[in-house]
Amino acid sequence: MITDNLTTRVYFSSILPEKCPVLNAHIIEALQKQGIPYAYLSETKDIWCRDFMPIQIEEDRFVFYKYTPNYLRDKYGLQLQTNPIEVFQSEANQLLPILQKALSLDLVLDGGNVVKCGDKIVMTDKVFVENKDKSATVVQRLLEEAFRCEVVFIPWGKGERYGHSDGIIHYLGDNRVLMTNYPDFDKTLARDYLRILEKHFDVTTLKYDVNMTDKYSWSYINFLQVGHLVLVPQLGIPEDEQALEQISNALPECDVVGIPAKEAVRRGGALNCISWNIKA
């Protein structure tokens, strides 16, 4: 499984510099300091590369899927549905060879709902809602055949529109996962997450010593890791330094850098959401 610590290159939407200029400038500066290759993808309809780009399982294996999520099926949303095949066929992106290594998964899926965790993948059960034409058994079988591993399902908190697991946990390596501060928002759901995840992983939960938790504090879990570089969202709030410290302690072998990310967070995502990192 190609987890974040094994990735060597990262891509962003060509729209990102226009939509999030401050965030974009800080990310590029951090990548250049580390000598990490990056590129911008043309033919993208929005900035959320994670959701529509294929999932790399092995160096020569990429899983494509149907990117038609239920939150993009109205008139406005349809304009934001990027067709990843068009992205790969664009000569400007130089990604055509990957199509020769592609597997097509006959399921509606978001890349943001796929967190690769060593020899497992964690997803919310929203994937069953998105594929009601198939039984849960069939959906699970198709996923596990495509990803060649066990899939661990956690509940979809219906108050959260997108149902993305990358807004809940991040894999740390060595069978460890970091969970966002869900107890601050929904204690019952947080207990359910821990009950399921602790059967498979060593789980650490982010915590913040503040009078009132900021509504955007969920976004720290949505950090971007490319190899040994970790870019953590910063929001200009007291939780910033506490998040940096906790993530640094969880990944002591990594360079952990804070990135002003409010431009993206206000739109509903953070640094993992806007990126597509692969082992090139």
Q: Which amino acid is at 5?
A: N
The residue extents of the domains of the chain are 4-278
> What is the pTM assigned to this prediction?
0.93
Q: What is the pLDDT of residues 147-173, one digit of tens each?
A: 999 999 999 987 788 899 999 999 999
Q: What is the pLDDT of residues 17-69, one digit of tens each?
A: 999 999 999 999 999 999 999 999 999 999 999 999 999 999 889 999 999 99
For 174, other C-beta atoms within 10 Å of its C-beta total 8
Q: What is the pLDDT of residues 77-117, one digit of tens each?
A: 788 888 888 888 887 878 777 777 788 999 999 999 999 99
What is the DSSP secondary structure assignment for residue 77, as one 8-state letter?
H
DSSP string of 147-174, one letter each residue:
HTSEEEEE---TTSSS--GGGTEEEEET
Is 3.75.10.10 the CATH number for 4-278? yes
Distance CA 99, CA 106 (A): 16
Q: Provide the phi-psi class of 175: left if phi over 0, else alpha when psi is between -120 and 50, else beta.
A: left
